[in-house]
Structure 1
Amino acid sequence: MELDRRLLMAHCAAHALSIVAGLLVVVPMALNGSAFKGLRCALFSTGYWSTENRPELTGQPGDASHLVVQHWGPLASCQFATFVGIFTVLYGAAQGWRSLFYLHGRHDDTLFSSFLTVLLSMCVFFLSGGASVILSLGLASWCDTVTDDNTRPYSCAESESVPLYLDVDTSSFYTELSLAQASLWCVTALWLAQSILAFLRLYHSHSQHISGPCLPREKELLLGYSQSDSGSLSPPHPSATPTILV
């Protein structure tokens, strides 16, 4: 199996995995956005716990603790992660189809197209890395708010079953955001792998482009050199034998 074919197969597998990882980012973020009514983002939200008598929240008389959100996180924090996931799915599907087409046709991209693929892969790698950091930091900030800086008798994952008395559905926020977080880091790792594979394909295409036109000329030069050597080593013609005078 040739090197370019192995690279194409590896790149095609990376695109297939990126589609799956991208869907595991988009679906949980979409469910979380629906639970938060599409107008609020839990990432980087700040608030505090308050204990007061509010029967309209708890439905029963007496003091009860409830979470008071001072500032909801910016929507761009959630939308950015969703955008990276959607782009990964679409780009992975398009490039995966192209890789299969090249495998069937037994040829690869041009030098310019390979260079653009490397450039785009590197850019999206940094974008997905930034989105992963934002999602991780935002989830950690929201968990600190929910657990009151880990002073509550439950963890962030267990807080899904704790009534927060907010006007949004928080019954599965940790499952959705943690799944999106893990999947987004996988997307980042896959974009790094795709960048490396794209660079190797560019290097291979460049090597083929450089060596392709030179090989016939080198072959001609070697053939001409061998013919000249064989001509110089051929025995002299009988008529050219010198006559010895006595």
Structure 2
Amino acid sequence: MELNRRLLLAHCAAHGLSVAAGLLVVVPMALNGSAFKGRCALFSSGYWRTESRAELTGQPGELSHLVVRKWGPPEACQFATFVGIFTVLYGAAQGWRCLFYLHGRHDDTLFSSFLTVLMSVCVLFLSGGASVILSLGFSSWCDTVTDDNTRPYSCAESQSVPLYLDVNTSTFFTDLSLAQASLWCVTALWLAQSVLAFLRLYHSHNQDMTGPCLHRDKELLLGRSPSDCGSASPPHPPATPSVLV
């Protein structure tokens, strides 16, 4: 198998995996947004307060419940969702192009390969930033839920503990942890796609440079003086013998 076909096949596999990873970002974030009624749990701040149980449940006694002072900015959740959606759409489109090139036995032009490298590097930085934001925001929410790890349960166990909020918190850890892991996988796949795109650009550049040099190699084999690579100089017309008068 030729090198360019191997690169195309690897790029197709990377695009297919990025589509799956992007879906594993979008779906959990959408489920979490629906459970939290459109509010973003990332970077939310709050505290625990002990009140009479009769005010909340109508039963005697006291209980502790979480009070959210301020919900996180919606842009934090929307940014991660945007990166996941873009990865799914771009991966599907580029995967189809790679399959088309594999079937047609050709590759992108040099300019198109350069644009692919540029796009991959830009989205790599975007996905990396979204991964850091999601991880930091999720950690901040876990600190709020566990009261800075002073509660007798972990963040994973807190989704089964009643927090007495007006949102459904029964699956928040499952949704956000899955989205977090998937988004880091998306970042790793964008890194792989950037490397593969650069290798395809390098291979296309070598092919463009090799083509004009074939004439020079032919001249070397024939024992002639080689001409410049890229533009072969036209042969000189034969000298006309002088006629003696």
Q: Taking structure 1 as the reference length, what is the TM-score of the superposition?
A: 0.89
Deviation at 1:224, TM superposition (A): 4.7
Deviation at 1:220, TM superposition (A): 3.1
Determine the C-alpha separation between the residues in 1 that align with 2:99 and 2:25.
25
Deviation at 1:221, TM superposition (A): 4.3
Query: Are 2:169 and 1:173 equivalent residues in the alignment?
Result: no
Identity %: 84
Partner of 2:29: 29
Structure with greater helix share of residues = 1
After TM superposition, what 4+ stretches of structure 1 lie above 6 angstroms from structure 2?
none
Equivalent residues in 2 for 1:61-76, closer than 5 Å: 61-76=60-75
Determine the C-alpha separation between the residues in 2 that align with 1:154 and 1:101.
53
Q: After alignment, is 213-222 or 129-138 more displaced? A: 213-222
CA deviation vs aligned residue, 1:202-245 (integer Å, no higher than 9, x gap) = 0000000011111123213432539xxxxxxxxxxxxxxxxxxx
Determine the C-alpha separation between the residues in 2 that align with 1:147 and 1:47.
11
Q: Is the 8 A contact 1:58 1:165 kept in 2?
A: no
Query: Are 2:193 and 1:158 equivalent residues in the alignment?
Result: no
Which one has a bigger Cα radius of gyration? Answer: 1
Partner of 1:8: 8
Q: After alignment, is 81-90 or 50-59 more displaced? A: 50-59
What are the ranges of 5 or more consecutive residues in structure 2 without an aligned counterpart? 226-245
Deviation at 1:146, TM superposition (A): 0.3
Partner of 1:109: 108
Determine the C-alpha separation between the residues in 2 that align with 1:66 and 1:33.
21
Partner of 2:128: 129
Q: Is the 8 A contact 1:25 1:179 kept in 2?
A: yes
Partner of 2:207: 208
Determine the C-alpha separation between the residues in 2 that align with 1:36 and 1:50.
21
What are the ranges of 5 or more consecutive residues in structure 1 without an aligned counterpart? 227-246
Q: Taking structure 2 as the reference length, what is the TM-score of the superposition?
A: 0.89
Q: Relative to structure 1, is the Cα distance of residues 59 and 128 closer, same or farther in structure 2, using a 3 angstrom cutoff?
A: farther
Query: How many aligned positions are there?
Result: 225
Q: Is the 8 A contact 1:58 1:64 kept in 2?
A: no
Query: Are 2:194 and 1:192 equivalent residues in the alignment?
Result: no
CA deviation vs aligned residue, 1:55-74 (integer Å, no higher than 9, x gap) = 34234232210001111000
